[in-house]
């Protein structure tokens, strides 16, 4: 039996990882961590833990890492799957320490890849330097020259982070300046093509080998995928394969892109599983199962063949008894 630890089980990403495990053929025992007793994923696992809240100033990175190591050793964990964006850089910085002190497989990419993904300016530089299509971009201090060669509408969004908050489509200079003031450390980018040609693409990679790859056209609601369409996407798949092999992630990687007149253009990279990971599993490509099998199970990762169709996302509700809830408060 494989003993799996999933972090951030209250997040959309963490829940998606758990759902993918539930939809797999894995023989496993699941431990979950989060920061709040209201995290629904804590009630889906065999056992849950609350980690010290690393976002609070009085909690040091060392304390957080030591708490995680204690749980890994206590529960004899084989593999750790991160489920929260803000944990990824911390885990990347401490990957060697955690693995040496526990013997666990920590599925997180290198600090270099995490930096390229987390900083959208570094994302653009990497794409440009490695001859991939990229969105024309500027930081505010070079905005004057940028506006001479790029026309409205433009996109203004935070340079760091992966949520859809504070992302603005601006249609003139007045809106541009207001958006820059509202954004923390903004980046300005060209508006890419048709929103109906936006794709979320996921790949898993181990030892420079592509284990799974799937590209889905999607429609968004509040920044999240509402509907996903699995169709023939040879041009996009070839582009994603080439970019994945260039980056060489450790496990999963996710790309957001639009199909434009010059081909696929990536505008965001996430070196982790995606909120659409459980949707991909419904299409026949279970990324979580493949990664777990590749690292600690079947060394070939298993066979996965996507099926064409549509997945529609919906919300669920779950009853938790007071005794279950209070157990995390003690």
SS3 labels along 208-269: CEEEEEEEEEEEEECCEEEEEEECCCHHHHHHHHHHHHHHCCCEEEEEEEEEECCEEEEEEE
Same domain, 239 and 254: yes
Structural domain span for residue 276: 194-312
Rounded Cα distance, 68 and 63, in Å: 9
* Domain CATH for 302: 3.30.470.20
Reported pTM:
0.95
* Domain CATH for 91: 3.40.50.20
* Sites in the chain below the pLDDT cut of 50: none
Residue 82 covered by a domain: yes
Task: Give residue 112's pLDDT.
Answer: 97
Task: Give residue 193's pLDDT.
Answer: 85
Same domain, 72 and 151: no
Task: Give residue 16's pLDDT.
Answer: 97
Residue 62 covered by a domain: yes
CA dihedral of residues 217, 305, 233, 133 (deg, nearest 10): 90
Same domain, 9 and 91: yes
Same domain, 209 and 144: no
Task: Give residue 219's pLDDT.
Answer: 87
Residue 73 covered by a domain: yes
**For the chain, how many structural domains are there in total?**
3
Residue 330 covered by a domain: no
Residue 325 covered by a domain: no
Local structure of 113: helix, strand or coil: helix
Same domain, 204 and 183: no
Same domain, 143 and 57: no
Same domain, 198 and 181: no
Identify the residue whose tokens are 């979320």. Answer: 200
How is the beta sheet containing 47-50 ordered, strand by strand?
Answer: 47-50, 28-34, 2-6, 79-81, 105-106
Same domain, 73 and 46: yes
Residue 113 covered by a domain: no
Same domain, 29 and 93: yes
Residue 201 covered by a domain: yes
* Domain CATH for 151: 3.30.1490.20
Q: How far apart are the first and last CA of the chain?
A: 30
């Amino acid at each position: 039996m494989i003993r799996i630890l999933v972090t951030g089980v209250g997040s959309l990403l963490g829940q998606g990882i758990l759902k993918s495990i539930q939809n797999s053929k894995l023989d496993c025992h699941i431990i979950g961590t989060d920061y709040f007793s209201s995290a629904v994923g804590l009630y889906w696992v065999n056992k849950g833990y609350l980690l010290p809240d690393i976002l609070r100033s009085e909690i040091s990175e060392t304390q957080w890492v030591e708490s995680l190591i204690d749980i890994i050793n206590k529960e004899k964990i084989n593999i750790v799957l991160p489920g929260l964006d803000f944990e990824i850089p911390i885990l990347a910085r401490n990957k060697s320490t955690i693995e040496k002190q526990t013997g666990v497989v920590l599925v997180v990419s290198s600090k270099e890849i995490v930096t390229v993904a987390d900083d959208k300016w570094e994302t653009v530089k990497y794409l440009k330097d490695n001859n991939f299509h990229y969105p024309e971009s500027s930081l505010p201090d070079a905005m004057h020259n940028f506006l001479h060669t790029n026309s409205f509408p433009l996109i203004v969004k935070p340079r760091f982070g992966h949520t859809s908050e504070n992302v603005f489509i601006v249609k003139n200079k007045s809106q541009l300046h207001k958006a820059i003031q509202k954004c923390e450390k903004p980046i300005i980018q060209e508006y890419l093509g048709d929103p109906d040609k936006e794709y979320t693409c996921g790949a898993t990679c181990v030892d420079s080998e592509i284990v799974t790859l799937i590209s889905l056209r999607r429609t968004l609601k509040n920044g999240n995928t509402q509907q996903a369409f699995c169709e023939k996407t040879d041009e996009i798949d070839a582009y994603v394969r080439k970019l994945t092999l260039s980056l060489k992630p450790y496990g999963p990687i996710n790309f957001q892109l639009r199909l434009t007149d010059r081909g696929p253009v990536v505008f965001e990279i996430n070196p982790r599983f995606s909120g659409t990971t459980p949707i991909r599993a419904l299409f026949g490509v279970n990324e979580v199962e493949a990664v777990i099998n590749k690292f600690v199970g079947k060394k070939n990762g298993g066979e996965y063949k996507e099926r064409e169709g549509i997945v529609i996302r919906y919300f669920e509700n779950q009853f938790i008894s007071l005794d279950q809830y209070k157990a995390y408060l003690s």
